[in-house]
Amino acid sequence: MSLSWELLILLSLRACLAEDSRHGPVFTQEPSDSVFPLSSDDKQVFINCKAKGNPPPHYRWKVDGREIKPELESHYSFVEGNLLINNPHVINHGGVYQCFATNMFGTVVSREANVQFAFLQNFSSKTRNTVSVREGQAVVLLCGPPPHYGEIKYSWVFNGRRGFLQQDARRFVSQRTGNLYIAKVEWSDEGNYTCAVRNIMTNTSVLSSPTPVVLRRDAVMGEYEPKIEVRFPETLRVSKGSSVKLECFALGNPVPSISWRRADGNPLPGKIKINHSSGVLEIPYFRPEDAGVYECVAQNSRGRNAARGQLLFYDLEHLHWAQSIKDTQMAIDTNLQWECKALGKPRPTYRWLKNGLLLSSQGRHHVESGTLSISRISLSDAGMFQCVAENDLGAVYASAELKVVASPPDFSHRPVRKSTVVQKGGELILECRPSASPRALVFWWRWGQLLKDTQRQTIMEDGSLRITNITQSDAGRYTCVARNHFGSASSTGTVVVKDPTKIIVPPLSLDATLGQSLVLPCEVSSDLSLSLSFKWFFNGKPIDFSRQEHFEMIGGGFAGDLMVRNIQLKHSGKYVCMVHTDLDTVSAAADVIVRGPPGAPQGLVVSDITDSTVQLLWEAGPDNHSPVTTYMVQARTPFSIGWQSVRTVPDPVSGHIQQATVQDLSPWVDYEFRVVAINSVGIGEPSLPSTQIRTKASVPKVAPLSVSGGGGARGELVIVWEPVPEEQQSGEDFGYIVAFRPSDSSTWIQSVMASADASRYVYRNDSLLPLSRHEVRVGVFNSRGEGPFSQTITVLSAEEEPSEAPSRVWARSLSSSEVEVFWESIPTGSRTDKIITYEVLFWEEGSEVQRSVSVTTTTARLSALKPSTVYLISVRAQNSAGLGPRSPAFNITTKKPPPSRPPGNIEWNLTNSKIFLNWEHVKALENESEVTGYKVVYRPNWNSKTTILETKRPSVALHVPSGDDYLIEIKAVTEGGDGASSGPIRIPMMSSLNSQGHCCLLPPHVTFGTVFIVLTMNL
């Protein structure tokens, strides 16, 4: 055959095959196994088949390998791709059907579909024989079902009654045979029995002829052991997920009881169902663990019998594709290999079809299991191929179309790139990928010269041109020429060479301390014609500068430095500066380690608790890139203020040790502990507090402080001390032991105070001499024993009350409301210690109401007295034992009261910085004290500090600074005290003015803010 003839044929075929939308048939709907119920209403059966293709496919059908010809068989007709069976017949039309779809590209075959018809014929009308039995005998009535197809259900009717015979322990209907078993016949069983069969799918039922059962009167059947009449298979294979029913029934007298068990002794699965007659055991959803030997046991009083059967697990897996085949377009003279693989149990076998016909290994075709190979493909190999995988459960079909193409080279869809920009020193690959069938030979030309392989220049297997270590001389135009048997074509592109981008100042790896700020530089050199963009990555993720308060890109132009402000521990990691241009991407990386104080230690555990020590164990937390140098242990109690450092062994705790013994703890105290790590950067976060623990109790170790005493009533020895704080009581049932003895005695007297809050003890004995010396000490105890005593001190017993009254008591009247009293002190005696206070009692003559004041000196001032009144005064001393006797009463009369009228007719003159005041002399009444002078009280209006000027005359001149307003009051002075005030008088001060004014005596209701002033100014 000549090449020119072959070229002509292939080029014309190329035009036909170029339309991508045209393809072979592909099934969209295939026939499937079906059972159709046959009844008087069923006149037609539809079997579906539909395929898509372009051009649309036409169809044909086969049944049991025989092609169906509707024009010759009136029962069959085609409706599009579907098969219609009119008035189907069970025998003639049941079988295996297969659909074929064909167009110009080939034929595909559908999966095989087993089509059957469910039916149920009538019983024979022949009369059934009478069954004669004795009472107590067993009987089996045969059903003998008529011809049928499809699942059926058996029942029995007794004496034509409505409803079916109920099964129980004595009567059983086998759903495998339809037979009725009566284990022991009774008189009530005599009658006619009819077998009823119902087809589940067609929902039709038929009845047999009656079988009469009569009881013989001549004898009664004796008792006998069970005989198992209905058995299940000795070996039964059950597939995964299916349901299995085992039947077992026994005849016997008495009626046997049926029970089920597993021969291996394992309990029956909980999902098992046993019917009410116990004759059927059902296992749904069969699993591997359900497999084994099952045993049916029949038992009555005469004996027992058993039936066994083994259930074998059969793992079936329906076929499905793990690897299928796809439509393929191949160039002529190339090789094809298709492989298909299906999964399923049992393991499948494979066959290959082309256009519906079986393929075998022959010539260029090789078939091996799921692999099809075709060498040196030709146009005749085009068509529809199918891989069929099949096992006992069925078959699956995979279809694909093989198209064979032939064409000259063509660059219209994939020309050489028009312009390629590359950098010096880089690598260039110019692709040359024309469409051609068969594959074209490729040649490269530059400046009219054919390029050949050199050290830097290589034509690759796919036709691409590869140039390494690019230089400026590699710039220019490159042309790819492609040729095959059917023609040639070319395509040209231009190469432009530019300088590469380089990072000249890369970021450097460094260490930083928490909270510092740093800059990672990134500066580049690049071709000026290229635009630059900088990107920074942290631990592989791009940094979003719009959402990061710590990161900022600074610089500009050829620099894109990264500033990290207030650096944190989380910022440790790898930083990458990446620079992009239109041609290349360069990057540089740096590792930043942020060192900070250590993290919190973990898992703190307290153990080995004693009365004063505990053992601590912990795990190191993160060192934050700076090794831990020491650990500090802290503790707190309900009595401490916050966390306090405690003494440890070792001390200090080195950073490589994670345990320590805490010492000097107080017994019987609740403690929490925590550990703080320290490194060269600083003090880290503390660990979580430990579980609260309580140290063990011990005898008290601390004696009471500030032991003292004295005072009290006569015959008492008072001892006081400062209570021991709770944290130093060392255990439960804490109390005090008070010990004392006279100074001249060697025998201690002890008293126990069982209260931790006690701070005072009083020993009472009327025989105690006042101020006798005693040695005193106070000890402690708790539930563990006695602790130490305080140091011994000397305490005096209580003294006697003063026995004498103060002497030489006298008084003088100071004013109308005050009296001053004087007396001599009482000397200290041997039975009294010292006088604490003196009590002064006073009362009006003729009155029983007494008032008193207490003082520590030998003088007292009595105030708030009535004027012109006689008062009686008495004084007595007081010490720690009580009050002594009173002194004889002394009487004194208070002075007359001061005048009740204030100074009146006050006039004033203001001349520069002097105020001249004049007022009317105050004349005292008969019952008032005589006026001996006056007090002038004045102050600036804005100041609270007052000045007092006393004068004998009713006039005065005041020297005051100019420029201020003044408030002035005037009072009369008498031996009975100061008289009534004139009230505040406001005098305005005006620079360079002379003024005068006067005010009169105001009514009593006029207040400070309503004083009337008459003012005259001299201009």
Residue 91 has pLDDT above 80, yes or no: no
> What average pLDDT does range 614-642 have in this prediction?
95
Give the domain-ending residue among 796, 827, 844: 796
Q: Is 250 domain-assigned?
A: yes
Q: Is 10 domain-assigned?
A: no
Same domain, yes or no: 914 and 1011: yes
Same domain, yes or no: 37 and 92: yes
> What average pLDDT does range 502-529 have in this prediction?
92
Residue 273's CB: how many other CB atoms inside 10 A? 11
> What average pLDDT does range 52-73 have in this prediction?
92
Q: Is the torsion defined by CA of 32, 33, 37, 38 positive or negative?
A: positive
Same domain, yes or no: 610 and 685: yes
List, for residues 351-364, the tens digit of each pLDDT value. 999 999 999 999 89
**Tell me, what's the pLDDT at 565?**
93
Q: Is 898 domain-assigned?
A: no
Name the burial class of residue 176, with classes exposed (0-12), middle (13-18) and buried (19+) by CB atoms within 10 angstroms of its CB: exposed
List, for residues 843-888, the tens digit of each pLDDT value. 999 888 999 999 989 999 999 999 989 999 999 998 877 888 999 9
Q: Are 907 and 996 in contact (CB under 8 A)?
A: yes
Q: Is 7 helix (H, G, I), strand (E, B) or coil?
A: helix
Q: How far apart are CA 389 and CA 319, in angstroms?
A: 8
Q: How far apart are CA 196 and CA 209, in angstroms?
A: 10
Residue type, 420: T
Residue 664 has pLDDT above 50, yes or no: yes
Q: How far apart are CA 782 and CA 206, in angstroms?
A: 102
Same domain, yes or no: 909 and 1014: yes
Residue 14 has pLDDT above 50, yes or no: no
Q: Which two tokens mark 732?
A: 């439960």
Q: Are 913 and 902 in contact (CB under 8 A)?
A: no
- What's the structural domain count of the chain? 10
Q: Are 154 and 197 in contact (CB under 8 A)?
A: yes
Q: How many helices (H) and strands (E) does the chain have?
A: 2, 95
Residue 13 has pLDDT above 80, yes or no: no
Q: Are 546 and 553 in contact (CB under 8 A)?
A: no
Q: Are 224 and 301 in contact (CB under 8 A)?
A: no
Residue type, 340: C
Q: Is 28 domain-assigned?
A: yes
Q: Is 964 domain-assigned?
A: yes
What residue numbers bound the domain in which 365 lies?
Answer: 317-401
- Identify the band that residue 7 occupies on the pLDDT scale cut at 50, 70 and 90: very low
Q: How far apart are CA 244 and CA 236, in angstroms?
A: 9
Same domain, yes or no: 208 and 246: no
pTM (two decimals): 0.45
Residue type, 669: V
Q: Are 31 and 110 in contact (CB under 8 A)?
A: yes
Same domain, yes or no: 166 and 131: yes
Residue 813 has pLDDT above 70, yes or no: yes
Q: Is the torsion defined by CA of 507, 508, 509, 513 positive or negative?
A: negative
Same domain, yes or no: 28 and 104: yes
Q: In sequence order, what are the residues at sequence separation of 6 or more whose Cβ sits closer than 8 angstroms to the Cβ of residue 376?
A: 333, 334, 335, 364
Residue 159's CB: how many other CB atoms inside 10 A? 11
List, for residues 538-563, the tens digit of each pLDDT value. 999 999 988 888 999 998 888 999 99
List, for residues 361-406, the tens digit of each pLDDT value. 998 999 998 999 999 998 899 999 999 999 988 899 999 999 998 8
Q: Within its chain, how far is the Cα of 35 from the centroid? A: 57
Q: Within its chain, how far is the Cα of 896 from the centroid? A: 91
CA distance between the termini of the chain: 152
Same domain, yes or no: 584 and 665: no
Pairing type for strands 457-459 and 465-467 reads: antiparallel
User: Residue 47: phi, psi to the nearest 5?
Assistant: -120, 120
Same domain, yes or no: 911 and 1002: yes
Same domain, yes or no: 1013 and 911: yes
Give the domain-ending residue among 569, 595, 621: 595
Owner of token pair 């006042």: 770
Here the CATH number for the domain that contains residue 877 is 2.60.40.10
Helix, strand, coil % over all residues of the chain, rounded to 5 = 5, 50, 45
Same domain, yes or no: 614 and 679: yes
Q: How far apart are CA 238 and CA 801, in angstroms?
A: 117
- Identify the band that residue 1010 occupies on the pLDDT scale cut at 50, 70 and 90: very low
How many C-alpha atoms does 790 have within 13 Å on its Cβ side? 26
Give the domain-ending residue among 401, 430, 461: 401
Q: How far apart are CA 271 and CA 224, in angstroms?
A: 35
Same domain, yes or no: 482 and 523: no
Whether residue 650 has a cis bond before it, omega within 30° of 0: yes
Percentage of the chain beyond pLDDT 70 is 94
Q: Is 1010 domain-assigned?
A: yes
Residue 488's CB: how many other CB atoms inside 10 A? 15
Integer-rounded Cα Rg, in Å, for the chain is: 64
List, for residues 759-801, the tens digit of each pLDDT value. 999 999 988 888 899 999 999 999 999 999 999 999 998 888 8
> What average pLDDT does range 437-451 have in this prediction?
90
**Tell me, what's the pLDDT at 481?**
95
